[in-house]
Amino acid sequence: MSLFTNSAKDSPPSLGPSPAVSPSPSPSPRPNALLTTKTLKNTILKSHGRPPWYGEDGQPISQAFVVGIAGGSSSGKTHVARQIVRSLGSIPTVIIMSQDSFYKPHTPEEIKLAFASRFDFDHPDSIDMDLFASCLADLKNLRQTNIPVYSFESHQRLEETKYLYGATIIITEGIMALHDPKLRELYDLKIFVQCDSDFMLARRITRDIKERGRSVEGILEQYLRYVKPSYDNFVGPSSRYADIIVPGKDNSVAIELISTHIRRQLEKRSRHFRRKMTVSLQRSLSRGPPRPLTNEELGLTVLDQSPQLKGIYTVLRDVTTTRQDFIFFVDRLATVLVEKAMEMLPYRDKTIETPVGVKTIGKTIDTESVCGVTILRSGGPLERGLQRVINDVPIGSLLVQSDSKTGEPILLHVMLPVCIRDRRRAENAWVFLLDAQIGTGASAFMAIRILLDHGVPPSHIIFITFLIARSGGIAHLRRTFPEVTIVTGAVDDGLHEAWVEEKEEERGPDWEDEGGRKVWVVEPGMGQIDKGIHKHLLTSWVFWDLVMIITSSLVLRAHATIETA
């Protein structure tokens, strides 16, 4: 449904042969129109890209910031959550998660009682607190999670789940959000929305008639029998755990204070990251290693340097190569690299019978699932190579871009194949991670970390790339993730920072007035370089990546606008 959320029932990303049909970040179709209102309420996501939340050792340096909002039914919890997001302005990704999603599954008898307003949804036992706490703990600890989807119209938990990943801030709201100690332990900030009971009842009547298909009689019966007693016994008393009490109306001052507090906390964390990682990476790159490390020392799997392979690279490095030849040879090389990477998969014996009736023992891939993840913008040709070698392979994508001011890699888009969106499946999957080259290693670092967050074992990650800069971030990458296999066709010695001179009409959004755009250039490098721009890359597969970026930024912009449910 958004950059970082998807129903686990989504169809796998498109497997078509051309990048024109690459996995799209567009919203997945909603399986049930009745869900729309609640889905929008439960999970609102706002994103301006996510900075890394791990240090140079590859380990997380901070957790997501978690806010818990409790209060009576219709006190304005959701409203407060949304206003906080609005007031935060330009901040990294936020997930709003509603406790409503965690109502326990109901038996047919319980559903009958619910339709007769005779079921107690307001007792703490009606909510699956353990599941709620474990999903919240996953998100807080920067792992993905799959939350249940609940339908108020049918009073039932649905079969599907919603995939969530990547939030820097999680705001969770619900009548019992402060009741359970397991939940309270996870919050960095606890809020209680205090509202006059007449207001709450009036709002509830309006909402339940409009959005939940109820009658006034039913609403009042449920209110007097369950909602009011529960407020008096459980919800109201939980206000003593709150750090801040927010009024249920005219609360803009309180919301401004809360968002200022959250912004300060986030600033502290981001300074922490810059000090720990970006600076040291840049410093070590500018100094370079004491002596160039060999391919063996770097633990790389490099294609056999046959005259044929060298011939392919010669064409790709030659400034006079035509666009058509470049695309042809890059496609050819992608296939060779993927074939090499296929040797890293586990295989087991398989007995078959030949057409002449003879039994023989062969080999077959021995794993539950294999998929690819392309690092946009330039993993495209490798994606085609993978599709040529494994029929129907699911392929996802990540968009990582360097922040032009801080140098930090920023995660802008995540669309992972279904087989790694669920932790249990991810633990048994093998993933081909695809990117054209490893220079500073910042994108590779972030992409590997994302796969680890999802539970993919490092030994099941096979990074495939055309080119590696020996003096770049590769040594650091290998030290940090020694179990990840890296397959390449060439290792070049040079890596330096350069300014790209662009014509006025070519200037992108990250253009800096004082002197252009900074890029890292591998030398001798691959692809024709025309005034600092990889001409072929820009004119061939990157076209499709640009389509992805534009689509992603549209989705980003859509999420910068708070959805109204």
Whose structure tokens read 């990251």?
273
Contact 88, 262 (CB under 8 A): yes
According to the binding rule CB under 6 A, does residue 192 interact with ligand LLZGTKA7? no
CA distances (Å), 132 to each of 40, 57, 185, in order? 19, 31, 13
The residue whose Cβ lies closest to ligand LLZGTKA7 is 73
The entry of ligand ADP, ligand LLZGTKA7, none near residue 155 (CB within 5 to 8 angstroms by kind) is ligand LLZGTKA7
Question: Which of 84/412 has CB closer to ligand LLZGTKA7?
Answer: 84
Question: Which of 13/71 has CB closer to ligand ADP?
Answer: 71
> Taking the complex as a whole, how short is the minimal distance between the CB of residue 203 and ligand LLZGTKA7, in angstroms?
9
According to the binding rule CB under 6 A, does residue 175 interact with ligand LLZGTKA7? yes
The entry of ligand ADP, ligand LLZGTKA7, none near residue 203 (CB within 5 to 8 angstroms by kind) is ligand ADP
C-alpha to C-alpha distance for 232 and 246, rounded to whole angstroms: 18
Contact 409, 372 (CB under 8 A): no
The entry of ligand ADP, ligand LLZGTKA7, none near residue 152 (CB within 5 to 8 angstroms by kind) is ligand LLZGTKA7
> Taking the complex as a whole, how short is the minimal distance between the CB of residue 198 and ligand ADP, in angstroms?
13
The entry of ligand ADP, ligand LLZGTKA7, none near residue 161 (CB within 5 to 8 angstroms by kind) is none
The entry of ligand ADP, ligand LLZGTKA7, none near residue 249 (CB within 5 to 8 angstroms by kind) is ligand ADP
Question: Which of 235/484 has CB closer to ligand LLZGTKA7?
Answer: 235
Contacts 24+ apart (CB under 8 A), 396-399: 396/13, 396/23, 396/371, 396/372, 396/420, 397/13, 397/22, 397/23, 397/25, 397/373, 397/548, 398/373, 398/374, 398/446, 398/447, 398/450, 399/375, 399/548, 399/549, 399/552
At position 327, the amino acid (one-letter code) is I
The residue whose Cβ lies closest to ligand ADP is 76
3-state secondary structure of 244: strand
Question: Which of 73/101 has CB closer to ligand ADP?
Answer: 73
For residue 415 the two structure tokens come to 């669309």
Among candidates 214, 210, 175, 209, which has minimal Cα distance to 195? 175
Measured from the Cβ of residue 136, the count of other Cβ atoms closer than 10 Å reads: 26
What is the contact surface with ligand ADP in residues (CB under 6 A)? 71, 73-79, 203, 207, 248-249, 251
Question: Which of 207/332 has CB closer to ligand LLZGTKA7?
Answer: 207
Site for ligand LLZGTKA7 in 224-253 (CB under 6 A): 227
CA distances (Å), 347 to each of 336, 362, 367, 457, in order? 19, 10, 8, 17
C-alpha to C-alpha distance for 386 and 374, rounded to whole angstroms: 10
The entry of ligand LLZGTKA7, ligand ADP, none near residue 465 (CB within 5 to 8 angstroms by kind) is none
> Taking the complex as a whole, how short is the minimal distance between the CB of residue 122 and ligand LLZGTKA7, in angstroms?
5
Question: Which of 75/378 has CB closer to ligand ADP?
Answer: 75
According to the binding rule CB under 6 A, does residue 114 interact with ligand LLZGTKA7? yes
Site for ligand LLZGTKA7 in 140-159 (CB under 6 A): 152, 155
> Taking the complex as a whole, how short is the minimal distance between the CB of residue 11 and ligand LLZGTKA7, in angstroms?
29
Question: Which of 171/446 has CB closer to ligand ADP?
Answer: 171
# chain residues binding ligand LLZGTKA7, by CB under 6 A: 11
Question: Which of 10/122 has CB closer to ligand LLZGTKA7?
Answer: 122
> Taking the complex as a whole, how short is the minimal distance between the CB of residue 224 and ligand LLZGTKA7, in angstroms?
12
- Which parts of 274-322 fold into alpha helices (H)? 279-287, 307-317
Measured from the Cβ of residue 352, the count of other Cβ atoms closer than 10 Å reads: 10
The entry of ligand ADP, ligand LLZGTKA7, none near residue 103 (CB within 5 to 8 angstroms by kind) is ligand LLZGTKA7
For residue 209 the two structure tokens come to 């008639």
Query: Max alpha carbon distance in the chain (Å)?
Result: 84
For residue 565 the two structure tokens come to 């449910």
Give the 3-state DSSP-derived string for 396-462, with helices as H, strands as E and coil as C. Answer: EEEEEEECCCCCCEEEEEEECCHHHCCHHHHCCEEEEEECCEECCCHHHHHHHHHHHHCCCCHHHEE
Count, residues in the chain? 565
Binding segment (CB under 6 A) for ligand LLZGTKA7, from list 55-63, 114-122, 326-334, 509-517: 114-122
According to the binding rule CB under 6 A, does residue 122 interact with ligand LLZGTKA7? yes
According to the binding rule CB under 6 A, does residue 74 interact with ligand LLZGTKA7? yes
> Taking the complex as a whole, how short is the minimal distance between the CB of residue 5 and ligand ADP, in angstroms?
19
Q: Kindly list the residues in this chain that would bind ligand LLZGTKA7 in the complex (CB under 6 A).
A: 73-74, 100, 103, 114, 121-122, 152, 155, 175, 227
